Amino acid sequence: MRTKRNVYLKMKTLQEARKILSDRFDHLGMLSGEPVAVPDAVGRVLAEPVFAKLSSPNFHAAAMDGIAVKAENTFGASETSPKTLTKDKDAFFVNTGHVLPEGTNAVIMIEKVNMLDDRQLEIESPAFPWQHVRKLGEDIVATELLFSQNHLITPYCVGALLSGGVFEVNVRKKPAVLIIPTGSELVDWRKTGLRDFKPGQVLETNSFVLGKLVEASGGRYERSEMVVDDPDKIADMVDGAINDGFHVVLTVGGSSAGSEDYAKTVISEMGEVLVHGVTIMPGKPLLMGIVRQKPVFGIPGYPVSAIIAFEQFVRPLICQMLGQPEPKRPLIEVHPTKKIASKLGVEEFLRVKLGRVENRIVATPLPRAAGMITSITEADGIIRVPNYSEGIKDNEPAQAELLKPLSLIENTIVIVGSHDNCLDVLADQLKARYSHISLSSSHVGSMGGLMAIKRGVCHLAGSHLLDTVDGSYNKSYIKRYLPGVSVKLVNLVMRDQGLIVLSGNPKNIKGIEDLARDDITFINRQGGSGTRILLDYRLKQLDIDPAQIKGYDVDEFTHMSVAAGILSGRADVGLGIYAAAKALGLDFVPVVTEQYDLIIPETHFESENIQILLDTIRTPEFKKQVESLGGYSTQKTGEII
């Protein structure tokens, strides 16, 4: 099979690609049915209408505990002129659910019956016909339609079907999807130990994610063994899948424009490529083709791209084959915490964290890289930026698709500001103690946290801003940047900040002064972070020009990202907290012990959720876990400064 580098020609918009999907696969009708026992049919779709075989109830039944009577025999009874009835003659004791005795048509509640003796009963009010009686067929009448075809069976439906005498239903077969992971770099996580995991290898995870998405959509999947980058082997797998009767085939990876991306070659030579490249982000490399009337997709290899591509193209086909409407997520108006730029001509699926701050839902953008699976696992919603827009302006509301229940978002504490590893401990402890509360932390640096408070888009901020004049933390910055805003300053931790270096400190780095050496590459924190301010202060003290430092302009947004950069060899040293160095087995050269505080506006301080957060950080469990990270002191944790 011939191979060549692919080129995206005539990329389609999402709307154009969706129309091609609809037009070319309209022949994929709804699947035929198969019999399934009713209790096992939950989540399945009816292939034919279901009619009741039995009435429910199938007799006149007492709806109360009391006496069954013929209503006409009770007419005229009153408090001043009670009527006397005889047990087992014109009054019959019944319990709820009992068959009404022949000749009776009403039930009088036991509370309204006076016993005169073992045989004589007295009533002081009449009954009306069919009072407190469940009549035959009151719920279900035999032969009536219970559910139409294409109805999705829910747990509620099971009771109706069984009560109607239906014990087996004909449900649509599940669309069968074969997932073919491709790529010579892939390794099976079930067979490869982490110690054997080598640089350049990639754990194959996409097929498992896609498989569970298939199941969640109502289909079933099989996963083939991984296939190396060989077009003939990939073609054999696709051919076998179609011969075996799979309804949809997904090749995963190899849909882009690289020299070893073979999905386009395979599909074009076996059938027809309908779309190669869609103007969406993530998901641009999607490939859609048809082979022997079956849809074959080239799913992008980046995990978020794979998910978006599945939801926009594969899921609609599965729904079509099941006779189901494509699910739509709830929409809600949100207010982004900052201006968001986007590329004109591309529809962007922007993942965001959400939380209610006062009377509005605020949205904080997550990293946009298609390879970051955490950008969707941490997301509460997705803002779709249209392809005709260059982004979202300051203070401009937007619509977000909800990925999580609104009730959870309503109980999310939004913290913006400096990154610290103990925030992960806090998030876990909150969830363990109060399952309805979540913590959403966004890492934009200490100054970014102050500005978020100023704009009213968070509940609190994490900060460790050093006043280079008097050596205090945060107070002077609050006065300068939050004039007129009443806040409480609460200590979270004292922490060791220093130089993170490779294990064994091979470059023999002893202090900040070594950063200017020619043989040293540095990795920085972003402008506005407390760590950056500390660095600049120390450089000024030592009369070192930042321009002398190789890598000063290369920055990261978290201490863990700095540590990962050093572990990977991108840099020799970075300024960060001891806990980050310890977590990745790196060495640490202490520089300063600093104060990391929570800045909480008075308007939120007395709220139930913030008080729960403060109670949590004061617990022995929280302090113990934080100190176990290394480089922390919790002696002042929870103190209002």
Residue with tokens 């997932």: 179
Task: Evaluate if residue 92 carries a pLDDT over 80.
Answer: yes
Task: Evaluate if residue 105 carries a pLDDT over 70.
Answer: yes
**Residue 2 to residue 278: CA distance in whole angstroms:** 25
pLDDT of residue 429: 96
| pLDDT tens by residue, 149-197 | 999 999 999 999 999 999 999 999 999 999 999 998 999 988 887 778 8
pLDDT of residue 10: 75
| pLDDT tens by residue, 598-634 | 999 999 999 999 999 999 999 999 999 999 999 999 9
- The Cα-based distances of 132 to 61, 87, 105, 395, 405 in angstroms read 9, 19, 9, 60, 41
Task: Evaluate if residue 383 carries a pLDDT over 70.
Answer: yes
- Interstrand relation of 133-134 and 61-62 (parallel, antiparallel or unpaired): antiparallel
Nearest CA to 83 among 131, 129, 127, 124? 124
By the 8 A CB rule, do 330 and 378 touch? Answer: no
Confidence of residue 471 (pLDDT cuts 50, 70, 90): confident
By the 8 A CB rule, do 65 and 97 touch? Answer: no
User: What sign results for the dihedral spanned by CA atoms 160, 165, 166, 168?
Assistant: positive
Residue 583's H or E segment, with its range, is: helix 578-583
Q: What is the dihedral of CA 564, 565, 568, 571, to 10 degrees?
A: -150
| SS3 per-residue string spanning 489-554 | EEEEEEEEEEEEECCCCCCCCCCHHHHHCCCCCEEEECCCCHHHHHHHHHHHHCCCCHHHCCCCCC
**Residue 139 to residue 145: CA distance in whole angstroms:** 12
Q: Once rounded to an integer, what is the mean pLDDT over residues 483-491? A: 95
By the 8 A CB rule, do 556 and 526 touch? Answer: yes
Helix axis angle for 231-243 and 263-270, nearest 10°, is 50
pLDDT of residue 426: 97
Which residue(s) pair with 220 in the sheet? Answer: 176
Helix (H, G, I), strand (E, B) or coil at 97: coil
DSSP letter (8 states) at residue 472: -
pLDDT of residue 198: 84
| SS3 per-residue string spanning 428-463 | HHHHHHCCCCEEEEEECCHHHHHHHHHHCCCCEEEE
Give percent above pLDDT 70 in the chain: 98
Q: Once rounded to an integer, what is the mean pLDDT over residues 563-592? A: 95
Q: Once rounded to an integer, what is the mean pLDDT over residues 301-311? A: 96
Region of 218 (left: φ > 0; alpha: ψ -120 to 50; beta: rest) is left
| SS3 per-residue string spanning 299-356 | ECCCHHHHHHHHHHHHHHHHHHHHCCCCCCCCEEEEEECCCEECCCCCEEEEEEEEEE
Determine if the peptide bond prior to 282 is cis (ω within 30°).
yes
Residue with tokens 């801003």: 465
DSSP letter (8 states) at residue 404: S
- At 167, phi and psi to the nearest 5? -110, -10
| Domains detected in the chain | 14-29+175-322 (3.40.980.10), 33-56+138-172 (3.90.105.10), 61-134 (2.170.190.11), 331-405 (2.40.340.10), 452-633 (3.40.190.290)
Determine if the peptide bond prior to 82 is cis (ω within 30°).
no
The residues, any chain, with a CB within 8 Å of residue 480's CB and separated by 6 or more, are none
Nearest CA to 544 among 525, 517, 519? 517
User: What sign results for the dihedral spanned by CA atoms 491, 496, 499, 502?
Assistant: negative
Confidence of residue 443 (pLDDT cuts 50, 70, 90): confident
Confidence of residue 286 (pLDDT cuts 50, 70, 90): very high
pLDDT of residue 17: 96
DSSP letter (8 states) at residue 139: S
Confidence of residue 93 (pLDDT cuts 50, 70, 90): very high
- The Cα-based distances of 423 to 34, 196, 415, 419 in angstroms read 51, 32, 9, 8
Confidence of residue 259 (pLDDT cuts 50, 70, 90): low
pLDDT of residue 6: 57
Helix axis angle for 446-455 and 530-541, nearest 10°, is 130
pLDDT of residue 257: 60
pLDDT, mean over the chain = 94
- The Cα-based distances of 80 to 66, 90, 125 in angstroms read 22, 21, 10
What length does the chain have? Answer: 641
pLDDT of residue 260: 60
Residue 273, class by beta-carbon neighbours within 10 Å (0-12 exposed, 13-18 middle, 19+ buried)?
Answer: buried
Task: Evaluate if residue 589 carries a pLDDT over 60.
Answer: yes
Return the exposure string of 364-385: e unless at least 16 CB atoms fall within 10 Å of the residue's CB, then b.
bbbebebebbebbebbbbbbbb
User: What sign results for the dihedral spanned by CA atoms 24, 27, 29, 34?
Assistant: negative
Residue 187's H or E segment, with its range, is: strand 186-187
